[in-house]
Structure 1
Amino acid sequence: MISVIVPVYNVEKYLEECLDSIQRQSYVDIEVILINDGSTDNSKEICEKYCKQDSRFLLTNQENQGLSAARNKGVEISTGEYIVFVDSDDIIKTNYLEKLMQYMAEDVDIVECIFTVKKMEFLDENIETTTIIFEGDSNKAVKFFPHHTLNVNAVTKLYRREIVEAVPYIEGVFYEDVYSGIGMLKYIRKMIKIDYVGYYYRVRLGSIMHREFSPKNLDIFTVCDKLIELYADREDLLPYVGSFLVHLATMHYHSYVKKGNPYREFYNQKLAEYVTLTKKNPDLARASRLIKLYNFCPKYYNSIVFPVYYAIWKLKNGIKEVKVDE
């Protein structure tokens, strides 16, 4: 059985569309664990309606504790051999669970698919293909992560229960997906990613990743440092974790840190620490474009070197800001 865990918090506008997409799954051996995390709108009543209609839906109400606590609670009370997380404002395709289960073999612990932020792309049945774009064990997955083919997202994945239980979500911080998404790779036997677009990820202006800077944005470094602690006993993999953290810290800086931000120097300090990790693998450091850019001029990397490089890269590749659908 698959346990589908849905944390719910003030999403009455989108919740029915999400729950309908779960209820209509072609794979029917499921339980749907709804964790109402202290909603103050009509989300609780909507959840109760689905529980009355369908015995597979189960509702637990709790005071507002945040996304991580809701996910952890869902895992705790779920009973399925496999676990899937769905955010309560997102949608999954009707064959989403069935498709992921097709690739869940005895030695596989995670199956991942592709998400889209464009609803028309999600609804376009003509683009559905299914080929494997990554397959590998723990070592290969961690080393592959800096290539950005695999995602840290909790969603878009089918997990074997033991893997989720091995790395609970850190409670009380933002960016909890980063820790668990990379942390779980330490314990897997094999992971598979397929090119199937089965998940519509709704980007809302009020989401964590689309807010102005606040000190809570510094949680990213709490999460990164905990990842370093987790992989401290794997010196072969730690440089690859460091390489991903260099990318993460760089992009986070350029997303949030504006001129005059009092934390600019702190960002630079943490970036230098992550660069140092990659140098434990000289071949990796030489192969990383960001590391080479950083070594070219560490002092002006964030203020001049990377912004110029990134602007040229976007221009060459015709990259414009992605428009998303409500």
Structure 2
Amino acid sequence: MLGLYIGSTTGYSGKNMIAMSMGKKFQKMGLNVGYMKPVGVMPKEIDGKLGDEDAFFVQEVLGLSEDPSKVTPVLVDQDFKVKAFRGQCEDLLPVIKKNYQDISQDKDVMIVSGSGSMYSGKYCGLDGVSVVEALNLNAVVIDRFNKELNYDYMTVLKDSLGDRMLGAILNDIPPYFNEEINSMLAPFLESKGIKILGIIPKDPLMGAIKVSDLAKRLGGKIISAPDKADKVVENFIIGTMQVENFMLHFKKSKRSAVIVGGDRSDVQLVALEGNAQCLILTGNLYPNDIILTRSEVLGIPIIMVRDDTYAVAREMDTLLSRHKLRDVIKIQHGSQLVNSAVDYQYIKETFDLKW
């Protein structure tokens, strides 16, 4: 049986997307796939059973129905952390190992998802490196591009994991960075024994968020065109400049939300006529009747929030980089991106898989 641990150099790197995509790919190849997330940090109860929110979701996508308490035997909440920091954290690796053995009995492939980074949970002995070693897994480490790649981190991981590190997947790579990867970073990493299993290009849709979800996350209220709240926002632009300058920047932005003060009707009108995905009006100020009417006519939702423009912009930046993978369209699109990038032939030959 092949056991794959999906870890990462940082949180919010695409572990769920890659776990689901690889799981679905192996299933299509005729392999019996199991899934586990040993340590959960998002406790959630469904039908009276407590588990991890992400683990519930991944199981649903993969069509699996294992007991949540076996899939995620360790749930980290505040009480858990308090005990751990007081030195009262018991050795939970044997519990994880027992549940892994139960789930994996009849499986060809086990996908095991990490939480946070590969060293998250070190304070209680439940970090990814420890789990990989305890369960005798092969680690796939995701490194998501954020201004640069964490090549130092990956070399340290290689030293820690040795042959257990199957390879790295570089995620969210912008086009302009491909030359540096191909000419320098990939050869460097492979010289250190780190196989590049795939390079996944940056795709705006993967960081997108629905207007309805955006309103909830910003603590705002949709005050116009609520029937169009399923529109998808890929980026944002701040409308604090003069109208002429705003128009210049706005033309370059596609599928953008426009964050603008509730009293800036001039910018609001330009954004509406320019077919913005939505307006986010700050300062808890209602727009005038002309803006509301045009919003309804054009089918462009308006979200009203209490915070100031720059506070909302900071929150938007975080949301678009960390928004959870939940929409069917994003799952399908993400799977295509992952599975067209991952070197499955290498995995097949390395582990002598039959499909």
Q: TM exceeds 0.5?
A: no
Bigger Rg over Cα: 2
Q: TM-score, normalised by structure 2?
A: 0.25
